[in-house]
């Protein structure tokens, strides 16, 4: 018997959120660029590992444009320190992508006299403690209500952590510092400022980028403690030229993670299918996903793997 079904792994969920030309989901930050550079975000992959109040967020982007004078702005709930930010290995995302990729599997009836152990009987992995991090010296620009809470370099990125009192002030500060802000940024920045969020600004250090011979930007990782469990993604709409893909890998040692502000729809992965599909599975799955996407009017999050 052949079925379209996913392998089960402890506490892993991958959500595929596809196609949002109208206001909906996109990447968790927006790109800013100096001069007239055009940077567009069409597909992104994000890993969120969550345990208690601790979150580790990894961001990888499929952007179009030159890395010269490129920057990324992402709302974050706390002031990040150098120890909390690192450059990730692209192979991590590639591994998760391959591990959770759609697959066609074949099942045979098990031997009832030789039962296999249940997943919940397997030992759980050990967890590590977290050390408290020291605070960075703060600098401020009181005229615009913008404060530089931290400034440091990680790998090929120069990092700023900003706080702001008004979205217009933050937009003005970025413009005064040589960044061309996408149209509509101020309106979308406002609710994040009202929630008291900070702004993680990552800019490419071209000298280090060139010295290391990088061809593409590596993922950025950040770890922080906060009761807020969220992925601020509406800002990514600013860079959209059409529909976008966002793949989110959610990892937790406790149960299944679900969205609270978007309806979650499961891809039908428990169906028996004809054997000839084995030879045309890639095209078959793409058609299945597209049909489900269109049936849901392109306004839901898809649970593709759990």
- What digits encode the pLDDT tens for the residues 1-24? 333 333 223 233 344 333 333 333
Does 235 fall in a domain?
Answer: yes
**Token pair in block for residue 276:** 């000839």
Residue 112 covered by a domain: no
Of the candidates 198, 149, 144, 204, which has an alpha carbon nearest to the alpha carbon of residue 176? 144
Spatial distance between the Cα atoms of 281 and 4, rounded to a whole number of angstroms: 10
Residue 126 located in a structural domain: no
d(Cα 63, Cα 41) in Å, to the nearest integer?
5
- Out of 44-48, 112-116, 159-163, 247-251, pick the least confident: 112-116
Among 38-42, 146-150, 214-218, 292-296, the least confident range: 38-42
Mean pLDDT of 199-222: 85
Residue 21 lies in a domain: yes
Domain assignment present for residue 294? The answer is yes
Taking alpha carbons only, the member of 285, 301, 287 closest to residue 101 is 285
- Which range is most confident: 62-71, 104-113, 202-211? 202-211
Pull the structure tokens for residue 273. 């299918």
Q: Which residue has the tokens 């400034």?
A: 151
| Residue 235: both structure tokens together | 């800002």
Model confidence at 112: pLDDT above 80: no
Domains in the chain: how many in total?
Answer: 1
Q: How far, in Å, CA of 277 to CA of 65, rounded?
A: 39
Residue 261 makes CB contacts below 8 A (sequence gap 6+) with none
Give strand ranges (E) for the chain. 2-4, 12-18, 30-33, 40-51, 54-64, 70-76, 85-87, 104-106, 139-141, 146-154, 157-164, 198-204, 220-225, 245-251, 264-266, 271-272, 301-305
Q: Is residue 263 part of a domain?
A: yes
Give the domain extent around 265: 2-106+136-305
In this predicted structure, the answer to whether residue 136 has a pLDDT above a threshold of 50 is: no
Does 32 or 92 have the greater pLDDT score?
A: 92
CA dist., res. 111 & res. 179, Å (int): 65
Whether residue 191 lies inside any domain: the answer is yes
**Can you read off the two tokens belonging to residue 156?**
């090929």
> In the predicted model, what is the mean pLDDT of residues 24-30?
44
- Global pTM reads 0.71
pLDDT digits (tens, 9 = 90+) for 221-277: 999 999 998 887 666 556 556 677 788 899 998 888 878 888 888 888 778 888 888
pLDDT of residue 218: 87
What is the rounded distance in angstroms from the CA atom of residue 186 to the CA atom of residue 216? 29
Structure tokens at 178: 């040589």
| Chain-centre distance for alpha carbon 176 | 29
In sequence order, what are the beta bridge partners of 75?
A: 199
Residue 139 has pLDDT above 60, yes or no: no
> What does the CA dihedral 174, 180, 183, 184 come to, rounded to 10 degrees?
-20
Q: What percent of the chain has pLDDT over 70?
A: 68
CB 248 within 8 A of CB 15: yes
Name the residue with higher pLDDT: 125 or 250.
250
What is the DSSP secondary structure assignment for residue 238, as one 8-state letter? G
The rounded distance, in Å, linking the Cα atoms of 180 and 32 is 6
Max CA-CA distance within the chain? Answer: 76
Alpha-carbon gap, residue 117 to 113, rounded angstroms: 13
Question: φ, ψ for residue 262 (rounded to 5)?
Answer: -140, 140
The Cα–Cα gap between 28 and 230 comes to 10
Tokens of 148: 């530089």
Taking residue 200's Cβ as centre, other Cβ atoms within 10 Å add up to 24
Is 269 a member of any domain?
A: yes
């Amino acid at each position: 018997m052949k079925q379209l079904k996913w392998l089960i792994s402890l506490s892993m969920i991958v959500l595929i959120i596809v196609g949002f030309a109208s206001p909906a989901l996109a990447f968790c930050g927006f790109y800013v660029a100096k001069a007239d550079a055009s940077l567009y975000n069409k597909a992104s992959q994000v890993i969120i590992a969550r345990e208690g109040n601790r979150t580790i967020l990894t961001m990888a982007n499929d952007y179009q444009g030159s890395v010269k004078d490129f920057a990324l702005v992402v709302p974050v709930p706390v002031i990040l320190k150098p120890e909390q930010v690192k450059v990730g290995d692209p192979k991590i995302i590639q591994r998760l992508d391959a591990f959770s990729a759609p697959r066609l599997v074949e099942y045979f009836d098990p031997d009832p006299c030789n039962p296999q152990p249940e997943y919940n009987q397997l030992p759980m992995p050990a967890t590590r403690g977290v050390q408290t991090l020291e605070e960075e010296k703060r600098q401020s620009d009181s005229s615009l209500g913008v404060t530089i809470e931290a400034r440091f370099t990680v790998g090929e990125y120069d990092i700023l952590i900003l706080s702001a009192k008004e979205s217009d002030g933050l937009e003005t500060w970025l413009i005064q510092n040589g960044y061309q802000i996408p149209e509509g940024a101020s309106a979308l920045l406002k609710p994040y400022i009202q929630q008291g969020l900070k702004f993680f600004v990552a800019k490419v250090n071209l000298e280090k980028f060139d010295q290391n011979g990088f061809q593409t930007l590596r993922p950025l990782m950040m770890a922080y403690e906060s009761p807020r469990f969220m992925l601020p993604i509406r800002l990514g709409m600013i860079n959209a030229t059409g529909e976008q893909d966002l793949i989110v890998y959610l990892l937790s040692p406790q149960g299944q993670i679900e969205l609270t502000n978007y309806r979650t729809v499961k891809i039908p992965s428990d169906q028996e299918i004809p054997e000839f599909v084995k030879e045309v599975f890639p095209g078959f799955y793409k058609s299945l996903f597209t049909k489900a996407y269109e049936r849901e009017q392109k306004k839901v999050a898809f649970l593709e793997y759990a």
